[in-house]
Structure 1
Amino acid sequence: MSAEFDLRHHGDAEVRGADAELTDLAVNVRADTPPDWLKARIAASLDGLAAYPDGRAARAAVAARHGVPVGRVLLAAGAAEAFVLLARALPARRPVVVHPQFTEPEAALRDAGHRVERVVLDERHGFRLDPAAVPDDADLVVIGNPTNPTSVLHPADVLAGLARPGRTLVVDEAFMDAVPDESESLAARTEVPGLVVLRSLTKTWGLAGLRIGYVLADEETIGALERVQPLWPVSTPALVAAEACCAGPALAEAARAAERTAADRAHLAARLAEFPEVRVCGPAAGPFLLIQVPGAAALRTRLRELGFAVRRGDTFPGLGPDWLRLAVRDRPTTDRLVIALGKALAEHRR
């Protein structure tokens, strides 16, 4: 069932091996990051590399940041590692992945020998979740919020309503800190049975190369994940970064960045609306937009020639060859993109 989609294709492939420098709209990492203060904290940690990593302070910082007990936190080498741990640790009989979404959860489940079912959301309904589409006997359900690549933010209560006895509900909140006020987050909802929330620090803080994220779940699930996790899975610099990014000043900075991203996303959507061929999926809540445009593959190639890398959409189950994902950047970058896009579309019309 996975053969028709390249589940291992990610945005970094769009910029790798470029002959010339590209403006990167394919990777959803915030531009101009990590900030100098965070780089300084990480650099200072290098003096402690002779010692084995000690995650206690970072784990406590994550717990305090979300107001949950320390026993409900597991640190991981990015959210992607957490998907692998879940696939290996949970004995799911009927796992379901809600698409379109980040493809790594399904890939990890398949690699672990699971037979994965897909619930594909309807573009005609704006890729909004229909809870009735999830099979009642699914004992593992995976969904993103806000969802990559659709940028849809599902209501927290709708997602919580998927929980039931005997089911693990995995909500990927890798982009939730890019949403103003983190509205619709389930991270602190300890009363929802079987809930597992995944968070990433790589997107907002520009730490994709450092690999740091975490899992929030009940202590039994955390224990099961720990048992399949390698020893010392998170490096000392990554632990220092996690602790720093959960501190008050960092949270305030992230909140300001989320507000700027929302404004920049609105600007991007408005500029894209100037082209009748382009349909923007919305309302959007993440630091990226999903667009539908005829001839997207050729358009992506031409934009690359004009200096812009964008993410193809046809590797996501539920999407086809006419979809592209664009990371939100500042207004001058968007305006330069629009000039290139206008040129590429004009050529395509001829």
Structure 2
Amino acid sequence: MRVSLFTEPHRGATYDDQLRLARHAEDAGFEGFFRADHYQSMGADPGLPGPTDAWLTLAGLARETSRIRLGTMVNSATFRLPGPLAIMVAQVDAMSGGRIELGMGAGWLEREHTSYGIPFPPLGERFDRLAEQLAIVNGLWATPDGETFSFDGKHYRLLDAPALPKPVQRPGPPVIVGGRGPKRTPELAARFADEFNMPFKTVAETTEAFDRVRRACETYERPADRPLTLSAGIVVALGRTDEEARRRAAPLHVPSALPPEDPVEGSPDALVQRIGEMAQAGATRVHLRIIDMADLDHLDLIADRVLPQVGAL
């Protein structure tokens, strides 16, 4: 089982906070460090000192880490134009020596769009834009050297793009499509992604989502030599004692705009069990979401008591 760390800097974290955590995760043996792509906190807490941009942050981390994989979970398709996004991600991939992954989603938190003047179209249009963005980003990266790329869609039009720079990873960094949507999300994962991620739901709900994606892969005749990685997001609040676990879990019970989740609260063994259940459902990767980015002891607990037990799953 591949195990990555997932963070939410919009809750309140500077670049230095994220660098400290990413380096600690790298040293502790986590495969990846992923961060959310949000410009506002979900609850009443403003998330001081304020938001940090996902790709500016990852560019810095790319130069200040050496092994750990880095990425978004997931980009909002409303935030960036697809052509510049492909350039941006390819550049950061080069800066990291080929350790970048691009997670993509349709965007959902209207409040952060309104706050910062970002257009927020209806849901159907957001998914249409996401589909075109995935086609464009993949198309630009896959364009052979010396050739150009054009695209004529409903929302985006590219004419004779030089398709540069090329990422280190060829044809491009792994693309992750994540989300709970029952129709469009599985379709887009089957058509365009290297990984599908089901975020923070029960084992039963995750299993159902994986089944929908498998059916979509059959419908769209995804090539057998390009298998789709299935991954699960898991919220974690662990402790060596019940009291320590309760303290770490306390922020999970504060009202927020997030949809209902199914966190693992308790002992490291409880997380080992949950990861094993996700593996039985088909997951070969998990992304563990921690709440307090300053709590490095939480990472150490997971690294010491969980990672050695799930590595062979």
**Structure possessing the higher radius of gyration over alpha carbons:** 1
- Structure 1 length-normalised TM: 0.26
Q: Which has the higher contact order (CA 8 A, sep 6+)?
A: 1
TM-score, normalised relative to structure 2: 0.28
